[in-house]
Structure 1
Amino acid sequence: MRRLVIKKRFLHKNGRPFGYGVLFVAGISVLALPGCTTSGLDMFSRTQVDRSVKTSTIPQAAPTSDSISDEVTVGNAVTSADISKTAGQPLAWANASTGSAGVIDKIVENNDSGVICRQFTTTRHSYVGIAKFAGKTCLVNSGNWQLMSFQQQG
């Protein structure tokens, strides 16, 4: 008597063997996975860290009307300060039109070449963030103070 052996196959709806599709998808996943991970799992490449990429601060943008208004406000605070009374004490300032505020932490007055100037450092707290600035304002021939420089510090 002969025995009849029936081999069973698991079939999808379209008639293809189920096992080959699973193997194909698993193989593609394994090959694609290293591209989504860190270099620690990158088995096929000897890529080195790219040292040519530099990070730094964003260059200062062109002055806006808000920053100019803040500069004028700081300049007015520096020029109207009575240095004999402040004697190294911080001087707060605020600009209601921009919402910015800060603290002038140093004012130094000098009389270089016959011109009275005040150098200062200040902070500016604004919607952009907090930054430190250094500036200089001088008494010009007309008797008015003129802001000569106002630069953001690194």
Structure 2
Amino acid sequence: MARPKQGSDRRRSRLFLWVSLCMTLPLAACGSKGFSLESAVPDTLTTGTVSGALSPASDEWTIRNAVSSAIVGEIGENGLGWANVASGSRGTIRNLTESRDGDTLCRDFTTTLESFEGVFLYDGRACMERSKVWTLHRFEKVG
């Protein structure tokens, strides 16, 4: 029987030591930065979080668009319903009348606004500017 050389055992153990050391050093370097709660929080782009609050004007824009696109003579007793999917609010536009203020076409209306905060009644006036853009000139809570 042949006996293995004693030198080859030492060489193997040294090689194993060097390989182990070379593999653990990069891992230790990655962990040397340290871990904190701030770095553990994922960014919003990765998680797809939604921004916190909507602009309060979001419902006003939806109401303005409904008022401007309505056919005044065809709104019945039930009114014209509107809904804002972004805020979850909804309501009904009633008493829609059209008038002229000089060269400006205006529409007066009342609307309900149902949201998580409750149900409110608003009185408003939307007018078409010379640039053919509708704007709200008045939007006030009644009562």
TM-score bracket for the superposition, by shorter chain length: 0.5 to 0.7
**Residue of structure 1 in register with 2:40 after alignment:** none
How far 1:67 sits from its partner (Å)?
A: 2.7
Map of 1:104-119 to 2, 5 A cutoff?
104-119=93-108
**Residue of structure 2 in register with 1:138 after alignment:** 127
Q: Secondary structure at the match of 1:77?
A: helix
Q: Give identity over the alignment, percent.
A: 37
1:67 paired residue among 44, 53, 56: 56
Q: CA separation of 1:102/1:126 partners in 2, compared to 1, >3 Å: closer, same or farther?
A: same
How far 1:88 sits from its partner (Å)?
A: 5.4
2:83 paired residue among 87, 94, 98: 94
Q: Secondary structure at the match of 1:119?
A: strand
Q: Secondary structure at the match of 1:74?
A: helix
Q: Paired residues, what number?
A: 91
How far 1:89 sits from its partner (Å)?
A: 4.6
Structural RMSD (CA): 1.6
TM score, norm. by length of structure 2:
0.59
Letter in 2 for 1:127: F
**Residue of structure 2 in register with 1:76 after alignment:** 65
Measured in 2, the distance between the counterparts of 1:109 and 1:65 equals: 30
Letter in 1 for 2:94: D
Q: Secondary structure at the match of 1:78?
A: helix
Q: CA separation of 1:132/1:83 partners in 2, compared to 1, >3 Å: closer, same or farther?
A: same
Q: Secondary structure at the match of 1:73?
A: helix
How far 1:112 sits from its partner (Å)?
A: 2.1
How far 1:138 sits from its partner (Å)?
A: 0.4
Q: CA separation of 1:116/1:101 partners in 2, compared to 1, >3 Å: closer, same or farther?
A: same
Letter in 1 for 2:117: V
Measured in 1, the distance between the counterparts of 2:77 and 2:96 equals: 7
Measured in 2, the distance between the counterparts of 1:87 and 1:144 equals: 26
Moved more, 133-142 or 80-89: 80-89
Measured in 2, the distance between the counterparts of 1:134 and 1:146 equals: 14
Measured in 2, the distance between the counterparts of 1:137 and 1:88 equals: 21
> Where in structure 1 are there 5+ consecutive unaligned residues?
1-63
Q: Secondary structure at the match of 1:142?
A: coil
Whichever structure has more helix as a proportion of its residues is: 2
Map of 1:1-154 to 2, 5 A cutoff?
65-86=54-75, 89-154=78-143
